[in-house]
Amino acid sequence: MTFWRQAVEIARVDLVVERRAGETFRIVLPFSIVALMVFPLALDLQLGIVSTVGIGVFWALGILFGMQVALRQSASDTPERRDLHVLSGVDPAARFTGRALSGGVLMTAYLGLMLVAMAVLFDPELPGGGWPVLLVSTVLVAVGLTELGTLAGEVTTGLRSRTPLASLIVAPLALPLVIGASQSVEAVERDTSILPWILLLIASDLALAVAGVALAKPLEEATQ
């Protein structure tokens, strides 16, 4: 089986498991939307402020709850499943790539739905051309966040404090993604070039992909 065939097969199985578990869309997404709804109430329903800070709230909640998507239980292998991968000769890099692919699909869909919910609830102020940039940034953030989550999830596999520990690892390292995403939309508002911020997002995604593939073998050994 080729590298890409292995990666696609891992991704397919992950998505099937997630469809059955429903962790992302039946638990994390509703919880995130409730959090979006709590925010205007915390601001005493001052809708002008809510509209102004809407995009920022989307990024903050999207990143924080997105970690739950990246670290979902359905993406953590049991020891038996890990052993099966090793004995079947699955390439560790293909396993990382497959996991990142399935996570990327879920994360993009999750952030996309959060974006729709935010647009409906907050009616954010966006200049002309802001929405396409926001969409592109959302996809790039989804990819980076998934890669980070996959790495942190592997490093903390099987630990009692897996979820808070992995979140502590992901949150500070996700800051370049938050900065790139928020500044690209700001750049549209200021009528300056968005290119440096989009390049920052692409560079972060590529760096994480390279780190994940390069460290896939020691990561696999670390979880055994």
Judged by CB under 8 A, does residue 155 bind other proteins? yes
Taking residue 29's Cβ as centre, other Cβ atoms within 10 Å add up to 20
Contact in structure between 192 and 164 (CB atoms under 8 Å): no
Q: Measured from the CB of residue 83, what is the shortest distance to other proteins in angstroms?
A: 15
| Position among 116, 168, 199, 203 found at the interface with other proteins (CB under 8 A) | 168
Distance CA 82, CA 125 (A): 47
| Position among 45, 48, 161, 191 found at the interface with other proteins (CB under 8 A) | 161
Q: Measured from the CB of residue 84, what is the shortest distance to other proteins in angstroms?
A: 17
Judged by CB under 8 A, does residue 49 bind other proteins? no
| DSSP code of residue 71 | T
Judged by CB under 8 A, does residue 187 bind other proteins? no
Opening angle at CA 160, ends 157 and 166, nearest 5:
55
Contact in structure between 98 and 9 (CB atoms under 8 Å): yes
Judged by CB under 8 A, does residue 182 bind other proteins? no
Judged by CB under 8 A, does residue 172 bind other proteins? yes
| DSSP code of residue 75 | G
Residues forming the site for other proteins (CB under 8 A): 151, 155-156, 159-161, 165, 168-169, 171-173, 175, 207, 211, 215, 218-219, 221-222
